[in-house]
């Protein structure tokens, strides 16, 4: 509250100072009343009248008549209340205006503003990891007192999953009971944490949960990914490729997820000895990326691997595969799903220039310290392309 009131009062003081500046810094010599001004004017007129009488331009009778008229006007003006007295003192004006402006400001803010909310928002602090964990812990204590709240257990399970606490998440999902049975996303999440607890094994309940999830929603993204991963782990590369191909059709073309799944599909095909589909035959480029031994120590978790294809002679990429660095050799495939411009696809070209870059930031522009390969010109439809990352961008 104080953090709001202090700036507000300072602003009000500045406004008052600007508005009242003419009164505060006014000079006494400049303060002349109407009565004083009239007296000075009549005195000047009387002097002019006397000069004309002495010069003989008017006679004695005209002089007396004009002099009497001026005296009468002077007496009439003298009866009018002085404007300086009507205005009052400068101090009274300053006090009056100040009170009026303050009351007007407070009144308008009470009607239109909300100091409490402003102060409350200013007092809020950024949420930290410790703060999130404390909130989840408090929520867990609340759920222990209300064990029949199945929806609450599902919410707690999701919170544990986000924090990476798979064992706690699995227990919470189990206590959610029938609440998750009709929710394909919750079923897939439950399977995911069970696989994490089992060190990557899909045997038993995880597989049953994924089957139930896909029965409710055949296009559930998480369930499709996990089902393909389960098939791949069990050596069923054909099933993995088919499942991931279905998932790829549901992802936005050119997205990071689409690029990652394309690489996984190519890897499953390669390990299963599966040829490309007729529709894609001759319109893709696939191969493996290797990293030189001397550069392996420079790679860190979180680095991004980018496979960039350009039309020869142009700088704008026609396709970009961007995935987190995993292991080498890395299998990749470039196709129209990775197009940067839907009106210019890789399948329309006969050959492209390909380079590979490992970036710390994932930025499109190469930066000092990025690991790179030499540029290779590759014909469309090529498979088993080998690219070696063996350079450091200066």
What is the per-residue pLDDT across 6-18, written as a single tens digit (0 to 9) for each? Answer: 766 777 677 767 6
Q: Is 387 helix (H, G, I), strand (E, B) or coil?
A: strand
Q: Compute the chain's Rg from CA coordinates.
A: 43
CA 273 – CA 287 distance, rounded (Å): 14
Per-residue pLDDT tens for 241-272? 889 988 888 887 667 787 788 888 888 888 88
Q: What is the mean pLDDT of residues 311-321?
A: 88
CA 202 – CA 191 distance, rounded (Å): 8
Question: What percent of the chain shows pLDDT beyond 90?
Answer: 22
Residue-level length of the chain: 394
pTM above 0.75, yes or no: no
Q: Indicate the pLDDT class of residue 275, thresholds 50, 70 and 90.
A: low
Per-residue pLDDT at 47: 79
The partner residues of 352 in beta bridges, in order of sequence, read 378
User: Which one has a higher pLDDT value, 51 or 97?
Assistant: 51
Who's near 16: CB < 8 A, 6+ residues apart?
97, 98, 101, 102
Residue 329 is given by DSSP the state S
Q: Indicate the pLDDT class of residue 39, thresholds 50, 70 and 90.
A: low
Tell me which residue has tokens 């940067």. Answer: 340
Q: What is the mean pLDDT of residues 361-377?
A: 86
Are 109 and 4 in contact by the 8 Å Cβ rule? The answer is no
150 has a pLDDT exceeding 60: yes
CA-based nearest residue to 17, from 25, 5, 28, 7: 25
User: Which one has a higher pLDDT value, 293 or 116?
Assistant: 293
Torsions phi, psi of 319, nearest 5?
Answer: -155, 140
């Amino acid at each position: 509250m104080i953090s709001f009131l202090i700036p507000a009062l300072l602003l009000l003081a500045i406004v008052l100072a600007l508005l009242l500046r003419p009164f505060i810094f006014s000079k006494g010599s400049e303060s002349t009343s109407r009565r004083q001004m009239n007296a000075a004017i009549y005195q000047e007129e009387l002097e002019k009248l006397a000069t004309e009488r002495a010069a003989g331009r008017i006679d004695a009778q005209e002089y007396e008549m004009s002099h009497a008229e001026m005296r009468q006007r002077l007496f009439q003006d003298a009866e009018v209340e002085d404007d300086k007295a009507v205005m009052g003192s400068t101090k009274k004006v300053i006090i009056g205006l100040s009170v009026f402006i303050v009351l007007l400001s407070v009144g308008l803010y009470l009607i239109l503003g909300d100091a409490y909310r402003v102060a409350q928002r200013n007092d809020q602090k950024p949420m930290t990891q410790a703060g999130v964990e404390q909130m989840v812990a408090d929520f867990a204590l609340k759920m222990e007192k209300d064990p029949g709240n199945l929806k609450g257990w599902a919410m707690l399970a999701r919170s544990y999953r986000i924090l990476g606490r798979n064992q706690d998440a699995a227990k919470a999902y189990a206590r959610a009971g029938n609440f998750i049975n009709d929710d394909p996303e919750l079923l897939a999440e439950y399977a995911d944490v069970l696989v994490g607890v089992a060190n990557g094994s899909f045997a038993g309940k995880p597989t049953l949960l994924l089957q139930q999830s896909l029965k409710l929603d055949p296009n559930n993204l998480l369930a499709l990914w996990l089902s393909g991963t389960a098939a791949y782990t069990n050596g069923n590369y054909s099933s993995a490729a088919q499942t991931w191909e279905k998932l790829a059709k549901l992802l936005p073309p050119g997205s990071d997820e689409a690029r990652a799944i394309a690489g996984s599909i190519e890897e499953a095909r390669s390990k299963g000895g599966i040829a490309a589909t007729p529709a894609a035959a001759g319109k893709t480029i696939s191969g493996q990326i290797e990293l030189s031994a001397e550069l392996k120590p420079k790679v860190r978790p979180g680095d991004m691997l980018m496979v960039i294809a350009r039309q020869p002679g142009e700088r704008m990429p026609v396709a970009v595969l961007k995935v987190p660095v995993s292991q080498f050799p890395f299998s990749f495939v470039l196709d129209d799903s990775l197009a940067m411009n839907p009106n210019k696809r890789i399948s329309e070209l006969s050959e492209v220039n390909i380079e590979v870059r490992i970036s710390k930031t994932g930025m499109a522009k190469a930066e000092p310290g990025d690991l790179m390969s030499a540029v290779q010109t590759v014909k469309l439809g090529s498979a088993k392309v080998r690219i070696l990352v063996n350079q450091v961008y200066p």
